[in-house]
Amino acid sequence: EVQLVESGGGLVQPGGSLRLSCAASGFTFSSYSMNWVRQAPGKGLEWVSYISSSSSTIYYADSVKGRFTISRDNAKNSLYLQMNSLRDEDTAVYYCARGSLAYCGGDCYPFDYWGQGTLVTVSS
Amino acid sequence: DIQMTQSPSSLSASVGDRVTITCRASQGIRNDLGWYQQKPGKAPKRLIYAASSLQSGVPSRFSGSGSGTEFTLTISSLQPEDFATYYCLQHNSYPPYTFGQGTKLEIK
C-alpha cells in the first residue's frame, strides 16, 4: 500500500524557517518524481514544487522561488521542503504528492497518491 | 502558463441528481487532466486520470470526458458521500502544474 506521511509543520514567525519531510513507503520511491502542493485556509490547491526521481530536475512556483528548496533522499525514501523567509501568505496545509514514474513516456499520470498534509502557520 | 477555468464554483444538488462540472484549459492539453475529490480536513483523492479513465476503487457513477481544452466530470446519481469539493488538475505543460479553482458541491 502506498503511503506518504508528512511531518515538520508548525507555528513560525514571519521571516523564519521550517523544514517539512515526507516519508514514503509501499512503492519504489527512487523511480518516481515527487511534488509539494499547498492549500491556504479556505482556499484552493496550489502546486509548490517538483523534483525528478534522480533530483536532476527541480521546479518551483513563482510564489516560492528563491525561498523554498525541495530535495530528496532516495536511500531514506524521503522528500523534503526547506522553507526560508516565510511570509504570512505561506500559511497553508502542505501535501506531498507522488509524481510520475521515470521514463513513463506517454503514459504519465502524476498526483495519484497524496499524504495527509502538515499545517504550516506563519504568524507573529 | 496554462490557466484552468472551472465552473461552476458552487453547486447545490439533491441525492440522486446528475451533476456535471466543467474545466476549460487556456490552451490544448491533450488528455493530460485529472479530477480530484476533497472532503473537509482530508487530502485530495483522485477520481479520474487521463481525462476519462476511472481510478481503481472509485464508483462507476463518476465519469470524465473531454480532450484538448474542454473537460467534464459527471456524477450520474449523487450519493450522500459525494458532497465535497472537486478540482481538476492539468499536467500537460509544466511548470507550473495548474488546478482549477474548485467546485463545492452542496446538498440542496
Read off the pLDDT band of A111 (50, 70, 90). Answer: very high
Residues of chain B found within 8 Å of residue A110, distances taken between Cβ atoms:
91, 97
Residues of chain A found within 8 Å of residue B42, distances taken between Cβ atoms:
116
* A76-103: pLDDT as tens digits: 999 999 999 999 999 999 999 999 999 8
- Strand bridging mode B103-107 / B10-13: parallel
**A35 shares contact with chain B (CB less than 8 Å):** yes
Residues of chain B found within 8 Å of residue A114, distances taken between Cβ atoms:
43-45
Helix (H, G, I), strand (E, B) or coil at B106: strand
Which pLDDT score, from 0 to 100, does residue A105 have? 81
| Interchain proximity B43–A117, CB inside 8 Å | yes
- Is residue A106 pLDDT above 80, yes or no? no
Whether residue A63 contacts residue A81, with contact meaning beta carbons closer than 8 Å, is answered with no
- 108 residues of chain B, pLDDT tens digit each: 999 999 999 999 999 999 999 999 999 999 999 999 999 999 999 999 999 999 999 999 999 999 999 999 999 999 999 999 999 999 999 999 999 999 999 988
- Mean pLDDT (chain A) is 97
